Structure 1
Amino acid sequence: HVAAIDKDIATGELANARAIACDFATLPKDLGKFDFLTLHGVFSWVAPEVRQQILEVAKSHLAPGGLLLVSYNAMPGWAHLQPIRGILRQYAALRQGDTVQRIRDALNYMVFIRDKKAKYFEDNPRAAAYVDGLLKQDLRYLAHEYLNQHWTSFYFSEVAEMFGSAGLAFVGSLPIHTNFWDLCVRPEFQELFRTTSNRLVTESHKDFCANTAFRWDIYATEPRVMQSPEERLKQVDDLYFRVARPGISLPHQVNLGVVTSTVQGPLYETLLKVLSKSSLRLSEILKDKSLKGNPAADLIRAVDAGVAMGLFDVTAGPVKITAKPLKGSVAVVSPFNRAVLASDSLGGRPVALASVATGTGHTLGDFDAAILHELTSEGPDGLVQRVDARLAGSGRSLQQEGKPVTDPAARQQLVESACTAFTSTSLPQL
């Protein structure tokens, strides 16, 4: 892993990054403090003493006002799935070969007993269906997830207590919609959330109502609660909001797992028109004449809910909104982005690039990444033909109505539409 990261750092010319090979107890003394710490794929998969070392690192190296992201396997969602790990780990221990071969053998065994209707799978149909998802995963990931010696799923309250002992407080979770209980909990349970504003209580309620199996939680040192619109504008009016993509119309409906939610009505119609023209700060939205008469709190709530439901995006700076494809040559300035495009386009996985325009990461589908790679390496002339040829040569296919498109003319037409949509929608964000 470290060798691969070092290679990426060198190829991407990242002067502000380095890879350190050590455990949490022996980190270099010159690290200092950080505004952001991230623990992904770590907390549930280490021994208790290592988790304690992690808490010490967080306490020592997270700057005042900094944010820490921790992901972990969560209860109660993992309760009925924990035997799957036991099946895989116990069977793999009996097999020969490296970890990839052993997890492959263990998967085959689990499929066999599932298909033969072992009592566990008969009594737990969701566990039986879960096996199909495992078969689509990378074997190396499965070995990390299921064959690791240490593996713990936590209740939210347990993790909150651990980080609380290190002086950190829970401030929110990802994805964004999980901070809105009315977007992730069915209506019949929502009265529970009106009885208290204590997030430690409501998060536990939510996990049982939604059967949460994985959490991305954010903790902070010295968090401040913004009690009013005025306080929010004073503290965080440096973010910009815009429509997530051109052509969005109302009603806008999304299913976020447990609840299907719909956005509609005059307020959202007006917000959609305003934020389709340009990206605006919250203070600018509140001053817009077409929104006059709406209470500030209602407007802010509508914007936040729109972000949670994928109607609006948040950026660190203003982003030009255009419905027309960009013309002329396009260059990818970042060496890191160039390296990622060259290696991961049409690779079968989403491609994450660093966006200077939005101030954050920007994820492209691997097909859009191929369009961008061709556009920046060879220019716009003949773009559709080159992308079409590259797609055909990769053995991949485009889908239409759930079926692969095999007719060359129809495929090229879809490629042309995709190129036009990409240059008008995704490209301005990069």
Structure 2
Amino acid sequence: MSNAWNEGYFTDEGYTYGYSREINPVFQRYCLLLRGFATLESTDGYHCELGFGQGVSINIHAAGNPGTYVGTDFHPGQAAHAIGLANDWGSDARLYDDSFEQLLARHDLPQFDSISLHGIWTWVSRDNHKLIVEFVRRHLKPGGHVYISYNCFPGWSPMAPLRQLFSLHDRFATQTSARPDQRIDAALQFSEALLAANPNYANSVPGLDAKLQSIKGQNRQYVAHEYFNRDWNCMYFTDVVDALAPAKLDYATTAVPLDSVDPLNLSAEGMDFLEGIEHPVMREQARDYFVNQNFRRDLYVRGANRLSASEHRERMLSTRFVLMQLADSVAGSVTGPAGSATLQADIYGPVLDALADDAYVPKTLRHLLEASPALGYGDVEQALNVLIGMGAVAPCQSEAAEKLAQARCNTLNLQLCRRSLFDHKIQVLASPVTGGGVTVSRFQQLFLISIKQGKTRPADWALLAWGIIGGQGEGLLKNGKALTTAEENIAELTEQAEAFAEQSLVVLKALKIV
């Protein structure tokens, strides 16, 4: 259904309630520091998110980071959810449902240390691209940075015609009175029938039917916003570089830590070839061909200041890191476009042991080197980068920033746990240590409510959780089978609560969520 205000964006179905760590300023600054860039970091800075969806990430970051947040999402339903959550915990974030044109017309906005747009650029018009670039030009501080993610070529080349088919069917061949999920299913069924008729396009793209089947199994909220907007501007990396240039932005680095580990991404021939390309933009674009990149997460800076080698090393040594899971549960291998690699036990073992020491409290890179004298600086730095890329470790903000964020995180987390009494939409809590979100399931949030009430036994946590879930007519699944009796559900919840006590609490305490 087309409305005058939506400019062709699929607004009949709200977006998901997920969390994106890439929008966290702490994580962004780490990615920039890793490549030797100076960044702005203050306790009274300003940050902006353009297109915040349901507002989960922006609320998490507004609580977890010192300073002030501003954001917009022109979908009024999503903006209302984000504002409602912000009001619940007393946030000073300024959240709007402005279009980019309306936001640009405001005269009450500050200069920002960072501006982030995750999953927005590809799905808005070229006119909106110009508005975004002008907004950045006016409102990003010198020395500030921009995070931007987008679909890109060459990886999207085989799928682009299929995505166009979905959108066109929704536009021309579906009854406007149909529900959003019905319209999506109709477009997918039409496309499946078209491929079954053996068009030459299908014959030229191996595995296309399997990809379509994968899309059919995905969350409909995600599918709606990924595939059904009228505007879809997939670009090459260099197209985005050129588009952002009028805002005085220079490409700095990827926001995907594993991308910097060449053996995971490139063959020996690829590394040799890229080494011979002098210009960094040309080299980065050529690299996309080697990995067949289809989605980029990039960081740009306004006024790129490179640190000296000694200052870069000192800042890295002073950066704190924290485990996000039990050390012995970290996977023993990691996979990239070039294949899988086993984590070397003689390097990763000592690093993980040192991170787990003293009840998992954050450790500086300097501390980790002192705790692992057999390892060199390069070994530990790369190990941390790989572990961060895997999501097993996170960079931390300064202790001063952590203290400023603690009370706000406590307040937000209490509100999120209270929401878990009614639904499972938001399964993430805020950490003042990392400035970002940590996955905590609905059941675990209910266990935390029990803990806050002074209950110390997992069996009691399970009883509270069952009182909520059972009272709402819901139940658990175990091994794909529904548990039908109260006894079965309580037993399963007790088992989960005991695992939570033994495995998760030590990490959540180190992250200062508990």
Question: Per the alignment, do residues 247 and 267 of structure 1 end up closer, same or farther by CA in structure 2, a change over 3 Å counting?
Answer: closer
CA contact (8 A) 1:371 1:387 kept: yes
SS in 2 for 1:300: helix
Superposition pairs for residues 283-362 of structure 1, below 5 Å? 283-286=366-369, 288=370, 290-292=371-373, 294-317=375-398, 334-343=410-419, 347=423, 351-362=427-438
Q: C-alpha distance in 1, partners of 2:193/2:474?
A: 31
> What is the identity percentage for the equivalent residue pairs of Structure 1 and Structure 2?
21
Is 1:13 aligned with 2:96?
no
SS in 1 for 2:394: strand
SS in 1 for 2:95: coil
Offset, 1:273 = 2.4
SS in 1 for 2:429: strand
Q: Which amino acid counterpart does residue 349 of structure 2 have in structure 1?
A: E
How many residue pairs get aligned? The number is 414
The corresponding residue for 2:351 is 271
Offset, 1:249 = 7.1
Q: C-alpha distance in 1, partners of 2:80/2:115?
A: 21
Question: Per the alignment, do residues 368 and 409 of structure 1 end up closer, same or farther by CA in structure 2, a change over 3 Å counting?
Answer: closer
The alignment's TM-score, normalised by the length of structure 2, stands at 0.70
CA contact (8 A) 1:345 1:370 kept: yes
Question: Per the alignment, do residues 425 and 391 of structure 1 end up closer, same or farther by CA in structure 2, a change over 3 Å counting?
Answer: farther
The corresponding residue for 1:262 is 342
The corresponding residue for 2:111 is 33
SS in 1 for 2:114: strand
Question: Per the alignment, do residues 342 and 196 of structure 1 end up closer, same or farther by CA in structure 2, a change over 3 Å counting?
Answer: farther
CA contact (8 A) 1:77 1:211 kept: yes
Is 1:179 aligned with 2:265?
no
Deviations 1:326-368 (A, max 9, x none): xxxxx99633323333335795666232211322222334443
The corresponding residue for 1:280 is 363
Counterpart pick for 2:101 among 18, 21, 24:
24
Q: C-alpha distance in 1, partners of 2:191/2:475?
A: 30
Q: C-alpha distance in 1, partners of 2:453/2:213?
A: 39
Question: Per the alignment, do residues 269 and 419 of structure 1 end up closer, same or farther by CA in structure 2, a change over 3 Å counting?
Answer: closer
Offset, 1:51 = 0.8
**Structure with greater contact order relative to length (CA < 8 Å, sep ≥ 6):** 2
Q: C-alpha distance in 2, partners of 1:137/1:373?
A: 32
The alignment's TM-score, normalised by the length of structure 1, stands at 0.83
Offset, 1:69 = 1.0
Q: Which amino acid counterpart does residue 279 of structure 1 have in structure 2?
A: P
Offset, 1:391 = 5.6
Question: Per the alignment, do residues 204 and 368 of structure 1 end up closer, same or farther by CA in structure 2, a change over 3 Å counting?
Answer: farther
The corresponding residue for 1:74 is 152
Is 1:225 aligned with 2:306?
yes
Offset, 1:118 = 5.3
Offset, 1:70 = 0.9
SS in 2 for 1:38: strand
SS in 1 for 2:94: coil
Offset, 1:168 = 0.9
Is 1:134 aligned with 2:211?
no
Q: C-alpha distance in 2, partners of 1:133/1:82?
A: 16
Question: Per the alignment, do residues 343 and 242 of structure 1 end up closer, same or farther by CA in structure 2, a change over 3 Å counting?
Answer: closer
The corresponding residue for 2:141 is 63
Question: Per the alignment, do residues 140 and 310 of structure 1 end up closer, same or farther by CA in structure 2, a change over 3 Å counting?
Answer: closer
Offset, 1:138 = 4.0
CA contact (8 A) 1:9 1:17 kept: no
Judge which range, 335-344 or 408-417, deviates more. 408-417
CA contact (8 A) 1:346 1:367 kept: no
Structure 2: gaps spanning 5 or more residues: 1-75, 400-406
CA contact (8 A) 2:446 2:464 kept: no
Q: Which amino acid counterpart does residue 223 of structure 1 have in structure 2?
A: A
The corresponding residue for 1:91 is 169
CA contact (8 A) 2:327 2:353 kept: no
Question: Per the alignment, do residues 339 and 219 of structure 1 end up closer, same or farther by CA in structure 2, a change over 3 Å counting?
Answer: same
Q: C-alpha distance in 2, partners of 1:348/1:258?
A: 37
Counterpart pick for 2:447 among 365, 371, 378:
371
Question: Per the alignment, do residues 291 and 27 of structure 1 end up closer, same or farther by CA in structure 2, a change over 3 Å counting?
Answer: same
The corresponding residue for 2:34 is none
SS in 2 for 1:75: coil
Counterpart pick for 2:320 among 235, 240, 247:
240
The corresponding residue for 1:253 is 333
Deviations 1:382-426 (A, max 9, x none): 0133335656666454555xx447465862453234322222333
Offset, 1:15 = 1.4
Q: Which amino acid counterpart does residue 7 of structure 1 have in structure 2?
A: G
Question: Per the alignment, do residues 117 and 375 of structure 1 end up closer, same or farther by CA in structure 2, a change over 3 Å counting?
Answer: farther
Q: Which amino acid counterpart does residue 247 of structure 1 have in structure 2?
A: A
Question: Per the alignment, do residues 248 and 225 of structure 1 end up closer, same or farther by CA in structure 2, a change over 3 Å counting?
Answer: farther
Q: Which amino acid counterpart does residue 291 of structure 2 have in structure 1?
A: A
Deviations 1:159-210 (A, max 9, x none): 1222233211112223321233322334553333443575423432332222
The corresponding residue for 1:426 is 508
RMSD value, Cα: 3.3
CA contact (8 A) 2:154 2:292 kept: yes
